[in-house]
Chains A and B, each alone.
Chain A
Amino acid sequence: MVQEQQIDTVDINVNMGPQHPSTHGVFRMVLTIDGERVIDVEPHIGYMHRGAEKLSETMDYRAAIGYQDRTDYLTQFMNEQAYCMAVEKLLELEVPERAEYIRVILCELNRISSHFMFLGAFGIDLGHFGTSFTYGFREREHIQDIFEETTGERMMYGYFRPGGLVWDVPDNFVQRVREVLPKSLQGLRDIDMLMTENEIVAARSRGIGIMSAEDAINWGLSGPMLRAAGVPWDLRKDKPYSIYDRFEYDVPVGRHGDVFDRYLVRIEEVRQSIRIVEQALDQLPDGPIMPEKMPRRLRGPEGEVYAAVEGARGEYGIYLVSKGGDKPYRLKMRSPSFCNLSALREMTVGNYVADAVAILGSIDIVLCCVDR
């Protein structure tokens, strides 16, 4: 050991991605390593940049909804909701009760399905092979079926509209959701039993990628990343939007801000989302799903609005500037994946190379949302 310390070592640059199974999409990072330690990380993004913000400036308010589905393709409903909320604020549209309830139900189901995706992929990132992945995907598929029955699409729903919804849910919607919720809960238990106490998961995720509460705020982290650091910040509670103030649920927070806490927070969030969906189903009123007086063509006044929702990955916000007319003048998407990923270097430096994969996995990025 004494001899080894005297040997001069050379720092090596290792390229990871853009085609790499553990980068969750087209993402590239260049690791500078000293032995097994990471001493620098340079993330490279933009492979998926399609200029969604610019394109939205050329579309009328309804047409741009499609681009919301294509940013974060795992939480489409939440993106649509943020966008529709922005347009509704601008045009001062009132969303009918029933539409609000259906939005909440779908958004929370979306959160559950997105977290199942995370839990599955996270297992693979930690070398847990495919069991957790198949568990996660099995449960996600049940929820995906409901989305398909409701919207007619598996991924690009385009179901929310400024003012409400494009059409009402199928007659058996409530019954179908009630069927699926116990399955989701059981699936969550399976994953919980499989991973939470697992030796591999603990060894690979405890105490790495730590972000203190102060750092997490400074880096603009949001969602489970921020809550895992011990900050009980949830837009649904702290800046209530839609009808979230009518439901009872808890906001889970972590204590250490490490990779394992991010996993635990997401596990608990699934339970809380199930609680919200159950309450929303009980309260679901009848009625219209669009305001009675809806202009045929949406024209915004001059002004600017910001609307944000608590997405599965954090705060997804739309900053919309209007100069009149039927198109946004400027549309900025505040993407939680982008903001959370920017702290990758901070979290990774000092850890082992293998941990870089676990840390990247714990951010739960969607590259389409990062690049927009």
Chain B
Amino acid sequence: MVPDDETQGEPEGAGDASASAKRAAEAKLEAEAKPENDAKPPEDEDPARPAPPPGGIADLLAEALPDVEMTAYQGMTDVIVEIARDDVSQVMKVAKEDPRLDLSFLRYLCGVDHQDEGLEVVYHLLSLEKKHEVVIKTRLGTDDAKVASVAAIWRAADWHERETRDMFGITFDGHPHLVPLLLPEDMTDHYPLRKDNPLAEIEEWQGDQLPEEGAGGSMTR
């Protein structure tokens, strides 16, 4: 078995020497930057939402946007930052353009229906240069499902927002072309991915056919 560390090196001869040099430089930068912001008072929060790692992306966001109210915590895989709906435009603009954050890549944008707790829009942002990422979320009321569009900031958001409009009925203000994408144009009365939208009978039935406790769900087919 080859140990991890030895093969984790730079890609060689991939045709782009500058890129691999860049990688090395970044790794160095990161290593230098880490020890600086260590002093972070532990806050008394509920255990399901542990504080994000100090000096990480949550702190950078707070530093770049001192006036915006944010709730940050460490999720199971990513740092999650919750913001108010009215701040979306401002936060996203800074997230992309601030050189400290440089979140230039929108991995995806989607909606989640939390039923009584309203709808949620999730933005997963990534920096290809700095290799950090963050999940930004905002809550909307089910009756007032509107949020500012980010399609002008990341062009990638264009189709994602149209899809989310189709599936959750969320209106993205300022989107250049918010017309149905995946669903037929005349299907405007219900939103399939909302929890109150029923499945067809056949699909409900499939769900009930799942293996019972102890009987099925075995490791083999």
The complex places the Cα of A144 from the Cα of B11 at a distance, in Å, of 29
A53 and chain B: residue at smallest CB distance: B193
| Size bracket, chain A contacts | 35 or more
* B179 → chain A closest CB, angstroms: 10
Instruction: Assess the A240–B221 pair: CB atoms within 8 A.
Output: no
**Mask: chain A, 301-338; 1 = CB below 8 Å from B; 0 = not:** 01111111000000101010100001101101010001
The residues in B between 177 and 200 inclusive whose CB is less than 8 angstroms from any CB of A are: 180-184, 192-193, 197, 199
Q: A45, A218, A220, A306: which has the most chain B beta carbons within 10 Å?
A: A220
Instruction: Assess the A45–B220 pair: CB atoms within 8 A.
Output: no
**Mask: chain B, 1-29; 1 = CB below 8 Å from A; 0 = not:** 11010011001111110011000000000
* B-side contacts of A230, CB under 8 Å: 16
Pick the contact of A252: B15, B135, B181 (CB < 8 A).
Answer: B15
Instruction: Assess the B181–A46 pair: CB atoms within 8 A.
Output: yes
Q: A12 at interface (Cβ–Cβ under 8 A)?
A: no
Query: Chain B interface (Cβ within 8 Å of chain A)?
Result: 1-2, 4, 7-8, 11-16, 19-20, 48, 75-78, 80, 104-108, 110, 112-113, 122, 124, 128, 131, 135, 154-156, 158-159, 163, 167, 180-184, 192-193, 197, 199, 203-204, 206-207, 210-211, 213-214, 217-221
The complex places the Cα of A253 from the Cα of B19 at a distance, in Å, of 10
Q: A171 at interface (Cβ–Cβ under 8 A)?
A: no
Pick the contact of A220: B7, B154, B180, B203 (CB < 8 A).
Answer: B154
B-contacting 9-mer, from A2-10, A107-115, A242-250? A242-250
* B-side contacts of A330, CB under 8 Å: 112-113, 193
Q: Specify the main secondary structure of chain A where it touches its partner.
A: loop
29 residue pairs from A and B, CB less than 8 Å apart:
A45-B181, A45-B182, A46-B183, A54-B199, A58-B199, A58-B206, A167-B220, A217-B104, A220-B105, A220-B155, A232-B11, A245-B4, A246-B7, A249-B11, A250-B13, A255-B15, A285-B1, A294-B219, A296-B217, A297-B211, A297-B213, A302-B48, A303-B75, A304-B75, A317-B108, A332-B110, A334-B108, A338-B159, A371-B182
